[in-house]
Amino acid sequence: MRIACVGEAMIELLLDGDPNLARLGFAGDTLNTAVYLRRNLAPEHDVAFISAVGRDKLSKRLVQFVSQQGVLVDGITRDSDLLPGIYTINLNEKGERSFSYWRENSAARRLFQRPDGMPYFDSLLSYDVIYASGISLAILPDHIRSAFLIWINEFRKKGGLFAFDSNYRPKLWDNPKQARRVIESAWKQCDIALPSMDDEMEIFGDRNCKEILERFNRYGVKTGALKRGAEGPLPIGSPIDNEMIFRPAEKIVDTTAAGDSFSGAYLAALLISGSSEEALHAGHVCARAVVQQRGAIIENFSN
């Protein structure tokens, strides 16, 4: 099986400890998912990251980092004019995050564009599963974004699977109405839905989990998980036989990439076993481990 995770990789600066120093890392929502998917998937399956970076030294280090994680980098294009985006993370005493971003000139904004600005998706043709997020769509120009969703529809008709997570960042969209329209279109096309409760309430105005699940049922989504943090996920689409109980993390240090890591482990388990119950458990266990360490991509994790 070949799985492609599509989106933006960024330079991560963790502002922690010495106020004169920042810890350098590399992350991004779909990159995080790609890494945790790779770690939870048997080695005979391929996981690739599809993105665009610059030709600078940090871009080179970023690509090397992705490759060192076992994720394929053939689908990362190089842009001579642009650079990777940068973001900083500040953590409060409860491990909750606040972010500052510099991504207006990110090379990933030119993903899937020919020099003349026309769309092309050749880098996705060899994959069985495509994973993307609301951030993946938000950073693209409108005509590329629309063309991508049309291409995904054709990809699914040929037997491919589309997995999606809304990962809502309001500042990346022109307005909330545009975000709702695009994200709803993606939900209606996806085979595996991985929304977060807070995002869905903010985007669509749902009042509770019941309303979210009912909406996904109307979309016709057959498989997925509604992420609820420490409470544990709820299944979307196919119900499970027994009510599951999820053990929360003993101590929350950093919630960065909690949802992304859940998605990676969930997808790995679902794609191999086909069991929603196993996938929900795997996703929660992985996310629980991640929030107990600092940074988006932790050094050690064993499921």
Per-residue tokens: 107: 């090379």
Asked, for residue 111, whether it belongs to a domain, the answer is: yes
- pLDDT of 270 strictly over 70: yes
- pLDDT of 303 strictly over 50: no
| Region 32-56 average pLDDT | 96
Query: What digits encode the pLDDT tens for the residues 151-190?
Result: 999 999 999 999 999 999 999 999 999 999 999 999 999 9
Q: How confident is the model at residue 255 (pLDDT cuts 50, 70, 90)?
A: confident
The Cα 134–Cα 131 span in angstroms is 11
Other Cβ atoms less than 10 A from the Cβ of 55: the count is 13
The Cα 289–Cα 292 span in angstroms is 6
Asked, for residue 300, whether it belongs to a domain, the answer is: no
Please identify every residue annotated as catalytic: 260
> To the nearest whole percent, how much of the chain has pLDDT over 90?
74
**Alpha-carbon torsion angle 172, 177, 181, 182, nearest 10:** -10
- The answer to whether the beta carbons of residues 234 and 212 sit under 8 Å apart is no
- The answer to whether the beta carbons of residues 87 and 63 sit under 8 Å apart is no
- pLDDT of 203 strictly over 90: yes
Amino acid at 148: F
Q: Supply the pLDDT for residue 250.
A: 86
Collapsing DSSP to helix, strand or coil, 274 comes out as coil
Q: How far is CA 83 from the centre of its chain?
A: 21
> To the nearest whole percent, how much of the chain has pLDDT over 70?
94
Cα→Cα distances 112→58, 67, 148, 157, Å:
22, 21, 8, 21
Asked, for residue 143, whether it belongs to a domain, the answer is: yes
- pLDDT of 240 strictly over 90: no
Cα–Cα–Cα angle for 154, 142, 261, nearest 5°?
Answer: 70
Q: How confident is the model at residue 199 (pLDDT cuts 50, 70, 90)?
A: very high
Bigger pLDDT: 98 or 300? 98
Total count of domains within the chain:
1
- pLDDT of 102 strictly over 80: yes
- Which among 218, 216, 219 is positioned nearest to 236, based on CA atoms? 216
In this prediction the pTM is: 0.93
- The answer to whether the beta carbons of residues 9 and 84 sit under 8 Å apart is yes
Q: Supply the pLDDT for residue 106.
A: 94
- pLDDT of 94 strictly over 80: no
Asked, for residue 39, whether it belongs to a domain, the answer is: yes
Asked, for residue 298, whether it belongs to a domain, the answer is: no
Note down the domain range covering 12: 2-290
CATH value at residue 170: 3.40.1190.20
Collapsing DSSP to helix, strand or coil, 197 comes out as helix
Task: Give the list of residues 6+ apart from residue 210 with CB closer than 8 angstroms, or none.
Answer: none
CB under 8 A, 24+ apart: contacts of 86-92: 86/10, 86/11, 86/13, 87/10, 87/11, 87/12, 87/13, 88/12, 88/13, 88/14, 88/15, 88/22, 89/12, 89/13, 89/14, 89/15, 89/254, 89/256, 90/15, 91/16, 91/254, 91/294
Asked, for residue 299, whether it belongs to a domain, the answer is: no
Report DSSP state, residue 170: G
Helices (H) and strands (E) in the chain, counts: 9, 12
Q: How confident is the model at residue 206 (pLDDT cuts 50, 70, 90)?
A: very high
The Cα 90–Cα 188 span in angstroms is 35
- pLDDT of 302 strictly over 60: no
Strand order in the sheet with 85-91: 23-27, 10-14, 85-91, 97-102
CB under 8 A, 24+ apart: contacts of 154-162: 155/124, 155/130, 156/189, 156/191, 159/128, 160/127, 160/128, 160/129, 160/130, 161/128, 161/129, 161/130, 161/191, 161/192, 162/129, 162/130, 162/131, 162/132, 162/189, 162/190, 162/191, 162/192
Asked, for residue 297, whether it belongs to a domain, the answer is: no
Bigger pLDDT: 105 or 180? 180
- pLDDT of 195 strictly over 70: yes
On average, the pLDDT of the chain sits at 91
Q: Supply the pLDDT for residue 241.
A: 66
Asked, for residue 135, whether it belongs to a domain, the answer is: yes
Query: What digits encode the pLDDT tens for the residues 17-26?
Result: 666 777 888 9
